[in-house]
Amino acid sequence: MIDYDSFADQYREMVRKGGPGRAHRFIISRLERITSLSRASICDLGCGSGDLSSELARLGASVTGVDISKKLLAHAQALNEKVDWVHGDAMALPSNFKTASYDIVISSLMLMDIPDHKAVFREAYRIVKPGGFMIWLVMHPCFQSPFSHPDEDGSRKVYQYAPQFWKSKGTGTLRSTLGAYHRPISQYLNDFMDVGFQSIRTFEPGSESAAPPNAYAPDVPDHFGALGYKN
Ligand SMILES: C[S@@+](CC[C@H](N)C(=O)[O-])C[C@H]1O[C@@H](n2cnc3c(N)ncnc32)[C@H](O)[C@@H]1O
């Protein structure tokens, strides 16, 4: 398990500087297209320092933010008192998380921090209401890893794609300190479908969002993700 407590202040700073802002804007714009946020109950799994949960609450949703890092939750609590902040493991939620209790479950940039992403999908499927859905984004498995590099001629080399845990080179950055679990796109999607989610839409924000493109590799997406419904 990746422990963000040692990196909580730096992560909060990264968020302040806009780090995951593109992912947050993308998720909010998707939600606004298909639902009325003012009536939605939302569970944000791996809410981190709470910015996405807080913005959804500001837009009228009733939001529960769950995270395993007590230090990040403390930052989240300082940000917004309307959100119900819960310390818990998204792979095995606290026992008071009832089956079929949320309209929407979100996971923004958490699943690559999780040793068992399928357990998170299972829990999400359990707590979402029939007719509700889960939306998630991860760092793009093809473009956001130390095994994928743009070359000067505009081409790209992918050295490895098999599932593995990696740490990026250097020191002091999020992924050189904490690392990440790499999984192929097919594994995420098959496991998402296996737990029961249906009518799946996939996303590669960066290439299709209106947000400014990734500076060092302008034409590749930063993130990969999906939205699926529970019937
Ligand atoms: C990259 S951060 C993303 C935070 C936030 N969702 C965002 O978009 O800024 C990953 C988050 O997942 C949390 N996390 C990691 N493992 C977890 C687990 N098993 N259960 C709940 N949260 C977890 C970390 O503590 C961290 O806050």
> What confidence tens digit (pLDDT) does each residue in 39-52 have?
899 999 999 999 99
> What confidence tens digit (pLDDT) does each residue in 187-228 have?
999 999 999 999 999 999 875 444 455 555 556 888 999 999
- Which residues, in sequence order, are CB contacts of 159 under 8 Å at separation 6+? 147, 148, 149
CB 121 within 8 A of CB 92: no
Q: Which fold has domain 4-139+182-229?
A: Rossmann fold (3.40.50)
Give the position of tokens 């707590």: 127
Residues with CB under 6 A from ligand 1: 1-2, 4, 15, 20, 23, 46-48, 52, 66-69, 72, 89-91, 108-110, 113-114
Is the sign of the CA dihedral 83, 87, 90, 96 positive or negative?
A: negative
Q: Annotate 90-117 with DSSP letters as a single string.
A: TTB--TTS-TT-EEEEEEES-GGG-S-H
- Whole-number mean pLDDT of the chain? 91
Q: Annotate 129-158 with DSSP letters as a single string.
A: EEEEEEEEEEE-TTTSSTTEEE-TTS-EEE
User: What token pair was written down for 46?
Assistant: 């791996």
Which residue minimizes the CA distance to atom 26 of ligand 1? 48
As a whole number of angstroms, the distance between CA 198 and CA 200 comes to: 5
* pTM for this model (two decimals): 0.94
Helix-, strand-, coil-residue percentages of the chain, each rounded to 5: 35, 25, 40
Mean pLDDT, residues 137-162 taken together: 88
Q: Which pLDDT does position 156 carry in this prediction? A: 85
Classify strands 148-150 and 84-87 as parallel, antiparallel or unpaired. unpaired
CB 133 within 8 A of CB 230: yes
Phi, psi of 52 (to 5 degrees): -70, -45
Which residue minimizes the CA distance to atom 12 of ligand 1? 46
